[in-house]
Amino acid sequence: MTVLYWLLIPVLGFLVGFVLDYVFLVKYPDEIPTIRYSRGFWSHVRSNIGYFTSQKRWIQDGYNKYNKKGLPFLVPSGLSRPYDVVLPRSMLTWLRDQPESVVDARLAHNVGVYGDYNFLDSKIIRSPFGMRAVQKSINRSLPGLVSAVDKEVQHAVDLALKDVGNDWTSINLWDTWQAIVPSVTNRMLVGSTLCRDEQFLNAMVSFTHAVLRNCVLLRFVPLILHPILGRMLAISNWVHWRRAYRRVGPVIKTRIDYMSRKVNGDPELQNWSPPEDYITWLVRLALEENRDQELDPIVISKRLLPIEFAAIDTTVLTGVLWIQDLLKTPSAVEDLTAELRAHQPVPGESWSAKALQSLVQVDSSIRESQRLSNFHLTLVERVVVASEGLCLPGLGWKIPKGAHVTVNMDGSHHDGDLYHDPYTYDALRFSTMRKEREEHHNASTDAAKPLGMVTMNDHHFPFGHGKHACPGRFFVAHEMKLIAAHLLLNFDLKMEDSTSNRLWVGSGMMPPFGGRIKVRRKSSSRG
């Protein structure tokens, strides 16, 4: 009986929490259609069970039935959240332009990643300071970083594929990209001292995986239990952060000391310039704004965490899906390799930002993979924070405070009215469109702007949209092109298995951890 008693307590707690969640759910206008089940408690139960296996189909059904007619719809979004209001793409610009006093993008992101638990300090994750540091510095620093990042890519690729020779070798795609991306990304985040430090990198990768695990688990749990379970799950996050801090803490302390002394006119540092990385950007902004609380090594190390999370696994997954898509069309591999050869630097030199911008076919192949193999169903999420709610344009429907509003990305990406043969990967789709547009506009420089992988419009927004779009997307574009260059110029690649199982759980794609390809080193490889 004692064992049964202790087993019943968490079960009853879960059931009570689920009922309370339902009682306090945001109440929507009856006019807004609901996908799958009607409203009511038992429909809510069935919908949230179905969310984990049927969300992709529901989002596509809602797009065809409502979004294409300019109407929003409601869809389940997990046990601990109200239904999402999924807007049609025709409302994207309108949503983007809403003031933050009406809809809050930062709050939506924080809720979505359970930031108050996963990122260890709710004040830090809720503060825009880290994002402002990136927005202010990354794009002006990027041209000067390309050479260093190129060297890091070459080192990381050669290390990841060190056992590959002239014979075909089977490799795990996820493991390979996971071996490449963290060090390359951290060349921009923490500089050359730490970007190859295995203890630091392992701690950061483990941290990102812990965040992903926690996000999935907390979606299964009623909101009332989050303060307990969220903190329990985050214990591993603290462990990984402490491991990382032992490596990055001394670097941060030295950087703060040197930059502060230089600002104060120390003659010993007159000719010293700090390396351009995220640590420097944070310290520089803190010094400019006299924010002494931001000149704390612990605070800076915790500001690294959401950036590491956003930059590592999403880039790895983008790279894995791109390779899988690309290798289904061998002729496209030849086209991209030819373009890379035409623009590659002479031996002994590095790629430049200008040369990378010339890789329009490589850019097109990545953007096309983002389109076909999007790993989120919806994007550009906002939480309604205005007490009077949010009134949808042209409909008069009022979305109440606390509601989550988002835009249907999966439907737009696979809309036959927007893309010819939308479920087929065409690596040169956007470069061909760009060429046709340039010819039609007499080679106008404006003609190519909307077709790059980092540009956004109402039917392509994998990096978000508007001022809250990913500020690191230009770095990611350079990073992806550099990795593509070193892979395609130095290695032959082919599919090992033509099937690629892509499993969706809720609104996100599970990474294809088991995907494999065959690789061999080219005789002309510089490796």
Task: List, for residues 38-66, the tens digit of each pLDDT value.
Answer: 667 777 777 778 888 899 999 999 999 99
Token pair listed for 172: 């795990």
Residue ranges in the chain whose pLDDT is less than 70: 1-11, 13-14, 17-18, 22-23, 37-39, 441-450, 498-500, 524-527
Residues 211, 166 within the same domain: yes
Closest by CA position to 39, among listed 72, 103, 82, 2: 82
In angstroms, the CA 353 to CA 482 distance is: 10
In angstroms, the CA 375 to CA 462 distance is: 9
Closest by CA position to 300, among listed 240, 234, 255: 255
Residues 76, 205 within the same domain: no
Residues 93, 29 within the same domain: yes
Residues 349, 216 within the same domain: yes
In angstroms, the CA 392 to CA 105 distance is: 17
In angstroms, the CA 393 to CA 337 distance is: 47
In total, how many domains does the chain have? 2
Question: If DSSP codes are grouped into helix, strand and coil, which group holds residue 392?
Answer: coil
- Is there a domain that residue 308 lies in? yes
Strand partners, 504: 509
Residue 494 phi, psi (nearest 5): -150, 155
Residue 9 domain boundaries: 2-112
Residues 102, 146 within the same domain: no
Q: Which helix (H) or strand (E) holds 287?
A: helix 278-288
Closest by CA position to 139, among listed 464, 473, 457, 469: 473
Give the CB-side neighbour count of residue 236, counting CA atoms within 13 A. 15
What integer pLDDT is reported at residue 527 of this predicted model? 43
- Is there a domain that residue 387 lies in? no
What integer pLDDT is reported at residue 10 of this predicted model? 67
Residues 81, 194 within the same domain: no
- Is there a domain that residue 81 lies in? yes
Annotated binding site: 470
Residues 84, 126 within the same domain: no
Annotated binding site for heme: 470
- What predicted TM-score, i.e. pTM, was given to this entire model? 0.92
In angstroms, the CA 285 to CA 243 distance is: 26
Boundary-marking domain end, from 69, 85, 112:
112
Q: Assign residue 467 the CATH number of its domain.
A: 1.10.630.10
- Is there a domain that residue 391 lies in? no
Q: pLDDT tens digits for 298-318?
A: 999 999 999 999 999 999 999
Boundary-marking domain end, from 112, 142, 158:
112
Residues 317, 218 within the same domain: yes
Are 367 and 453 a contacting pair, CB within 8 Å? Answer: yes
Runs of H (alpha helix) within 414-470: 429-440
- Is there a domain that residue 288 lies in? yes
Residues 92, 68 within the same domain: yes
- Is there a domain that residue 397 lies in? no
Residues 127, 100 within the same domain: no
Q: pLDDT tens digits for 326-339?
A: 999 989 999 999 99
What integer pLDDT is reported at residue 448 of this predicted model? 45
Residues 140, 84 within the same domain: no
- Is there a domain that residue 404 lies in? no
Residue corresponding to tokens 């405070």: 401
What integer pLDDT is reported at residue 307 of this predicted model? 95
Closest by CA position to 369, among listed 490, 502, 492, 465: 502
Runs of H (alpha helix) within 265-398: 278-288, 297-326, 330-343, 353-357, 360-372
Boundary-marking domain end, from 51, 83, 112:
112
Residues 75, 188 within the same domain: no
CA dihedral over 60, 66, 71, 76, signed as positive or negative: negative
- Is there a domain that residue 383 lies in? no
